[in-house]
Structure 1
């Protein structure tokens, strides 16, 4: 007698329960040994070692990044990707809970591999470095890692229980002004003050900020402002972080930044240079049909996910670049109360708590069951792709 989908879910939950202690041990090892963007060598070695021992086909150094990897079980389509993050925050360690994301993705991939054994397509664990700065998933997406994937699944620990992540598009730009050095009293008329131009750009952007749409903003810092007080600065530079609710809105904001810089340069007699300084993170496009499945599976653990609060945005992530290509989910599951925040020492402590351990097991089960749904239910895949096409304007 053939197994039903409910039978598969039950087998997956048992498999995750049997591995729960080992997964928590891996999460704690990662938590105790934080590594940072593109240097997560021990984390990548630990995770790929577990996958390789289980029989996955492992590729390291994916997309030109030494700590990126893919690990495949099965062949062909359909293919579901489980995303693993494992970079930490300098000075704060795992204050964003990426060790839990890594352990959950690992556990879900191992469970699906054990229960389905490649019989229903392919499950791929995708190790993505540098989410906190560098955009490993964006680099992987551009390199084609997700080209043959039908769904990309992950969860993120947080302070809310939300079905989807309200994540904005973001990028950083470097703006430099070139002037002419002079002595401020000996020959002041010969100088062209590049720092004055940069300061004026801050003023213009402050005025612009008053009429930007919701979720759009520019935040800048001065990275070079001159070398001595008795020399008119011939070079000044600022770094500007831009965010917007959608990727098209971010592109509009980038255009406005360029216009402002060029206008200031004309007004001050300087020359402006505007260049992108980081990988662009696209806004996140949630696959509602897959997020609903994840929420339904997670509810078995007594955790109820709700839609996010309207108008509240929780930063940006390179999962946005993946979601522009394939149906993707990124629910938040709380490991501390709403009066807290990630990227704090308190969150790092909560990420090693018993509540975090319970959330890890529950999220791993929900990810594994959702992955099986993608592999086994053609109708679900078709609906997810159809809605994805609508979300990206296709």
Structure 2
């Protein structure tokens, strides 16, 4: 049966690569992926998938479904397709979408034997707000037994964990005055921002090793001779677990309140992007995905580890069993978010990676849908956070 799936994917290798190349040639920023959404849904509809556009009130999100003749669980392949400003598909989201599309076609060929339902979910804006956050919160994954995807990288890695992320904005409000002739009449909002940075820098000594805190001064004043009445800092706070992150962010907020108190400014604190939870790989899905990497000839599969970045797939993993592996592009020195990665996705190596990744995903899906024992193991090992 696995050979049938692989053969089906190879039959559509040109269409799979066409999708990757067209996305590469038409890069779209987060929440602007109109071309990508239409391209993917048109191809899925042509293969008999029932398509819903704009799910969760996100214009460029979609759900495509195909049911087998026998009942069974739902399995979701996830597509990402937003690009990076000035770089294009330097994170390889064009390959992610192509691999999930190809996996759906491969698994569809045996769905009447296995039973169940295939979902292909279009999840925009991974680089910014992360549509998976909204989709997980609105119940899209509540009845999904397994949600899986692969992400390109320099070399292949098992599905592991990631850092939870909060994107926090600190807005300080003061009062203008002439900085030289009447400085005593001003309240310096920029001073409050600088004190915030000093406070957070002092906080670094008292947080666990997995915590990351990095920020910028987004606005700091107009001219040196005007006391700044408004200043703004934006920070990313990350930690290996959501509980730890919540504690760290509260301490940072206290630093901001103290900075406001010290300068006489006022402060407003909010979140400028949606938060990511830490990725929790389901052990059964992670094991099956790794086995299928090796089945497809992977000889250098790196062990699962904690990725020091963050991903909205983490939110999915808190509401449904999930796995998010990394598939190598043939050069372990490649660095994501570069033009070199974008170019590699449409190379001959990129084509081989797309085909192999589609097979790994589809075979993992087959292992899930074809075995009630596996399904029970997944359910037993899934512990909602």
2:29 to 18, 23, 36: 36
Structure 2 unaligned segments of length 5 or more: list them: none
Aligned-residue CA RMSD (Å): 1.6
Q: Displacement of 1:119 after TM fit?
A: 5.9
8 Å Cα contact 2:114-2:366 kept in structure 1: no
**Residue matched to 2:343:** 349
In 2, Cα distance between equivalents of 1:339 and 1:306: 14
In 2, Cα distance between equivalents of 1:219 and 1:27: 33
Structure 1 unaligned segments of length 5 or more: list them: 1-7
In 2, Cα distance between equivalents of 1:351 and 1:51: 21
1:49-97 Cα deviation digits (max 9, x unpaired): 1111111110000111111000111176410000011111111111111
8 Å Cα contact 2:96-2:149 kept in structure 1: yes
TM-score by length of 2: 0.95
In 1, Cα distance between equivalents of 2:100 and 2:81: 11
4+ residue runs of structure 1 moved beyond 3 angstroms? none
In 2, Cα distance between equivalents of 1:72 and 1:267: 57
1:300-320 Cα deviation digits (max 9, x unpaired): 3321423145xx634111100
**Residue matched to 1:313:** 307
1:105 to 100, 105, 108: 100
**Residue matched to 2:258:** 263
1:193 to 185, 188, 200: 188
Q: Displacement of 1:339 after TM fit?
A: 2.1
1:168-195 Cα deviation digits (max 9, x unpaired): 1112111011112211222221111111
In 1, Cα distance between equivalents of 2:114 and 2:195: 63
In 2, Cα distance between equivalents of 1:300 and 1:60: 35
1:372 to 350, 366, 372: 366
Could you say what secondary structure the match of 1:96 adopts? coil
8 Å Cα contact 2:20-2:345 kept in structure 1: no
1:196-235 alignment, distance < 5 Å: 196-235=191-230
In 2, Cα distance between equivalents of 1:234 and 1:39: 34
In 1, Cα distance between equivalents of 2:381 and 2:243: 19
Q: Displacement of 1:211 after TM fit?
A: 2.6
Q: Displacement of 1:117 after TM fit?
A: 3.9
In 2, Cα distance between equivalents of 1:63 and 1:90: 25
1:124 to 116, 119, 128: 119
Q: Displacement of 1:118 after TM fit?
A: 8.3
In 2, Cα distance between equivalents of 1:115 and 1:314: 37
**Residue matched to 2:135:** 140
Bigger drift between 139-148 and 108-117 goes to: 108-117
**Residue matched to 1:5:** none
Q: 1:371 to 1:62 in 2, by over 3 A?
A: same
Could you say what secondary structure the match of 2:41 adopts? helix
In 2, Cα distance between equivalents of 1:188 and 1:22: 67
8 Å Cα contact 2:20-2:94 kept in structure 1: yes
2:55 to 43, 62, 66: 62
In 2, Cα distance between equivalents of 1:257 and 1:107: 45
In 2, Cα distance between equivalents of 1:385 and 1:225: 51
Could you say what secondary structure the match of 1:280 adopts? strand
In 2, Cα distance between equivalents of 1:338 and 1:166: 20
8 Å Cα contact 1:74-1:119 kept in structure 2: no
1:230-279 Cα deviation digits (max 9, x unpaired): 22111111111111111112111211111111111112221111111110
1:294 to 289, 294, 298: 289
Could you say what secondary structure the match of 2:175 adopts? coil
Paired residue total: 382
**Residue matched to 1:3:** none
In 2, Cα distance between equivalents of 1:150 and 1:341: 33
1:78 to 73, 77, 99: 73
1:137-176 alignment, distance < 5 Å: 137-176=132-171
